Amino acid sequence: MHRYIISASSHARDIEPVGLAVHELLNRLPVTARSRDNPGVRIENGGVIDRQYTGPVLEQVLAENQLKKVTPASGEYKGIPVVVSPVRDEEGDVIAAIGVVDITGIFDLATLMEQQSEILRQVCGSDPCPRPTEQTSSKR
């Protein structure tokens, strides 16, 4: 029977099964993970594509022991929102980090609403839009 241990010195092969499980749970969103002391895995499209992976946000989480929701300025996921969480031991010390592409970070609701308002202004001008005669209820 195989045994996998997640620790500060875990290698990519130790972290891989957990990373693959998270990848599948999240409908195959890209997942990255590494231990504090060793590079880890980068998982995309149902498989491991790198077993020597590290990234700037994983390293930041390992250094700060805090969850990060950011858009990296460098690395494989440059310009793509990610969320990375520390994995902690019983004392609360960070032993690893695991991250995913943050699809919630892609949608900025305030910006979306602002754009919708601007589109309505361009289409309708100052008139109510749709006009009362164009309301769905008036077509019934």
Q: What is the pLDDT of residues 13-70, one digit of tens each?
A: 999 999 999 999 999 999 999 999 999 999 999 999 999 999 999 999 999 999 999 9
Asked, for residue 35, whether it belongs to a domain, the answer is yes
Give the predicted TM-score (pTM) of the model: 0.75
Asked, for residue 6, whether it belongs to a domain, the answer is no
Of residues 100 and 125, the one with the higher pLDDT is: 100
Chain position carrying tokens 């990373």: 19
> Within this chain, do residues 28 and 81 fall inside the same structural domain, yes or no?
yes
> Within this chain, do residues 98 and 117 fall inside the same structural domain, yes or no?
no
Containing structural domain, residue 134: 109-139
pLDDT, residue 129, reads: 63
Please check the confidence at residue 118 and state whether its pLDDT lies above 60. Answer: yes
CB atoms within 10 A of CB 19: 23
